[in-house]
Amino acid sequence: MSDRSNLERIRDELKEFVRLERTLAAVLAFTPVFLIAFDGWEIRDSISAYYDMDENQWFYFLLTVGAMLFIVNGVIKEQHSYNTTLGIFLAGVILFNQDDWTAIHNVFAFLFFGGNATVIFFSKTLGWVKAVFGAVIVVALGLFFFADWFTLFWLEWVSLGIVAVHYILNTAPRVPYVAPQRAG
CB of 158 closer than 8 Å to CB of 59: no
Provide the 3-class DSSP secondary structure of residue 178.
Answer: strand
Q: Which amino acid, 85?
A: T
| Per-residue model confidence as pLDDT tens digits over 100-158 | 999 999 999 999 999 988 888 887 766 787 888 888 988 998 999 998 889 999 999 99
| Per-residue model confidence as pLDDT tens digits over 57-95 | 999 999 999 999 999 888 887 777 889 999 999 999 999
Phi-psi region of 180 (alpha: psi -120 to 50; beta: other; left: phi over 0): beta
Spatial separation of the C-alpha atoms in residues 126 and 147, rounded to whole Å: 31
Q: What would the DSSP string read from start to end of 14-61? A: HHHHHHHHHHHHHHHHTHHHHHHHHTTT---SSGGGGGGSTTTHHHHH
What pTM does this model have? Answer: 0.84
Q: Which residue has the higher pLDDT, 12 or 137?
A: 137
pLDDT of residue 174: 56
Does the pLDDT at position 171 exceed 60? yes
Cβ neighbourhood burial of 87 (10 Å; 0-12, 13-18, 19+): buried
pLDDT band at 173 (very low <50, low <70, confident <90, very high): low
Does the pLDDT at position 3 exceed 90? no
pLDDT of residue 149: 83
pLDDT of residue 86: 94
Please compute the mean of the pLDDT values over residues 6-22 and round it to a whole number.
80
Spatial separation of the C-alpha atoms in residues 93 and 95, rounded to whole Å: 6
Q: Which residue has the higher pLDDT, 56 or 181?
A: 56
Spatial separation of the C-alpha atoms in residues 139 and 154, rounded to whole Å: 12
Please compute the mean of the pLDDT values over residues 9-35 and round it to a whole number.
87
